[in-house]
Amino acid sequence: MIKLLDKFDLMKETRDLVIVANENKQTQLLFDLFDSELEQFNDELFSSVYSLGKLKSKRVHIIGRNKLMNDEKLKKVISKLSRLKEEYVILTNTFSQDEISKLSLFVEKLVVKTYKIDTFKSKKSKDLPDVYFYSEEDIDSSINEGKIYGESINKAKDLVNTPYNYMKAKDLADYAKFLEKYEGITVKIYEKNEIEKMNMGSFLGVNQGSSDEPYLIFIQYKNKDNKDEPIALVGKGVMYDTGGYSLKTPKTMPGMKVDMAGSAAVVSAIEGIARLGLDANVMSIVAATDNRIGDGAIVPDDILTAASGKTIEIVSTDAEGRLTLADAVWFAQEQGAKKIIDVATLTGAILVSLAQYYTGAFTNNQEFYDEFKSVIEKTKEDIWLMPVSKVFHDELKSDVADISNKGGRFGGSSIAAAFIEEFINKDTAWIHLDIAGTASNKKDGATGVMVKSFIKLFHK
């Protein structure tokens, strides 16, 4: 969809043109042809004029001066462009230097805004028009960067929006294996017998009711010159969540294909990191399974033993994501990670606290959190720091096991974070991101939340 033009002739180009009403040579030439005054368009967000035969291009779309600089206005401009039905050329020669600096973001937003999923519709959407960029300066790297960011976000959306009968644990594992085509990526997929050998009883307990096999997905990207210790991105990979015998209601179960949004984020992010060839050492880890009812499914009162040796009393089979993450973060540390970010659609309680506007963040290391927060300030994927302290760990006390998998009625997000922290070593810096509120919305479906921030963390 996004393409670069090597050559451009204003008088011969047949595609629609997009320009910014800045005072420069290329813009002035167009306005001279139209016998129009530049000033009348300066304050307009987006205007379209017909060339009336003065150009081969049928129309010229004019963005008001400096309207790309404000993020909210950029969003509106992209929205206007995404509705154009004919292919068009964006003349970046008409951009100011400040606007050129935002070219990567411009492309990224355009790719994300034009995302559609109609894979399972009998009547497909019309193909989107091609968008061409032309500049007399070298803009290749900015265009490529924006495309990769946008396509990585869209890939996460694709994975999340695909229903369970097409996106099981094996399907995600197969996609992960496909990433080995990128330089620097290695992939190891652990099947059930290998997971059993690692004594991942917490992860396997969630899978007991399923007829579909679980898979532990381990993707590593390392730039050949990188000397850093690895950072692990651990994504919740519950491909569909019925709640198990603590069954969800008919109202809350539809949409549970979104429960693997954490895994989609870490898989799509590491693909983007590899495509950009970043100087990084990063792991993406997913314990992938569904949570269903079956003859062998766990029930409340069962006791599972995690790979760490810690025993877990099952209070609710619907508190299953944390069970998979317990073994996944243990595995990340076994692979040498001293910094871990886990991301999960973990609790409905985070929606009560932060609605759909903020991702809940929890940490045991302020320095690591501050580093990540500085990235978030650039990507504008809003997070809010929540408490995870001794009082929440106390909620997990059990009379019959080392811990229970659920605490009391209140503070559910912090209690869930505390559960994961029980499996984090004292010398491991850890951040937990609860994206239950931000992973999807009614209007657009999956959002691809945290993909951009994870890439940007390594994009120095």
Q: Which residues pair with 341 in a beta bridge?
A: 233, 431
Give yes or no: 157 in active site.
no
Fold (topology level) of 149-458: Aminopeptidase (3.40.630)
Catalytic residue among 322, 339, 452, 456: 322
Cα–Cα distance measured from residue 354 to residue 276, given in angstroms and rounded to the nearest whole number: 33
Question: Are 53 and 98 in contact, with CB atoms under 8 Å apart?
Answer: no
Query: According to the model, what pLDDT value does residue 209 have?
Result: 97
Give yes or no: 65 in active site.
no
Q: Note down pLDDT in tens along the chain; length 460 residues.
A: 899 999 999 899 999 999 998 888 888 888 888 777 777 787 788 989 898 888 999 999 999 876 677 788 888 999 999 999 999 999 999 998 888 989 999 999 999 999 988 889 888 888 889 999 999 989 999 999 999 999 999 999 999 999 999 999 999 999 999 999 999 999 999 999 999 999 999 999 999 999 999 999 999 999 998 999 999 999 999 999 999 999 999 999 999 999 999 999 999 999 999 999 999 999 999 999 999 999 999 999 999 999 999 999 999 999 999 999 999 999 999 999 999 999 999 999 999 999 999 999 999 999 999 999 999 999 999 999 999 999 999 999 999 999 999 999 999 999 999 999 999 999 999 999 999 999 999 888 999 999 999 999 999 8
Query: According to the model, what pLDDT value does residue 73 have?
Result: 85
Strands 185-190 and 359-363: unpaired
Single-letter code of the amino acid located at 374? S
Closest to 290 (Cα-Cα) out of 442, 165, 174: 165
Catalytic residue among 248, 310, 338, 373: 248
Architecture, CATH, for domain 2-136: 3-Layer(aba) Sandwich (3.40)
Torsions phi, psi for 289 (to 5 deg): -165, 165
Strands 303-305 and 281-291: unpaired
Cα–Cα distance measured from residue 293 to residue 273, given in angstroms and rounded to the nearest whole number: 37
Strands 445-446 and 383-385: unpaired
Domains of the chain, by residue range, sit at: 2-136, 149-458
